[in-house]
Amino acid sequence: PIAALLEAAGGLPENTGKIIGGGPMMGRALLSPDVPVTKGSSGVLILDKEESVRKPMRDCIRCAKCVGVCPMGLNPAFLMRDTLYKSWDTAEKGNVVDCIECGSCSFTCPANRPLLDYIRQAKKTVMGIQRTRKQ
- Cβ(40)–Cβ(79) below 8 Å: no
Residues of the chain with pLDDT under 70: none
Q: What is the pLDDT of residue 115?
A: 97
The string of pLDDT tens digits covering residues 77-105 is 999 999 999 999 999 999 999 999 999 99
Q: How far is Cα 82 from Cα 85, in angstroms, rounded to an integer?
A: 5
Domain layout of the chain by residue ranges:
2-52, 65-134
How far is the CA of 99 from the CAs of 46, 65, 130, in angstroms?
A: 26, 16, 16
Tell me what pLDDT residue 106 has: 94
> What percent of the chain is helix, strand and coil (3-state, nearest 5)?
45, 10, 45
pLDDT of res. 135: 82
pLDDT for 75 equals 98
Phi-psi region of 36 (alpha: psi -120 to 50; beta: other; left: phi over 0): beta
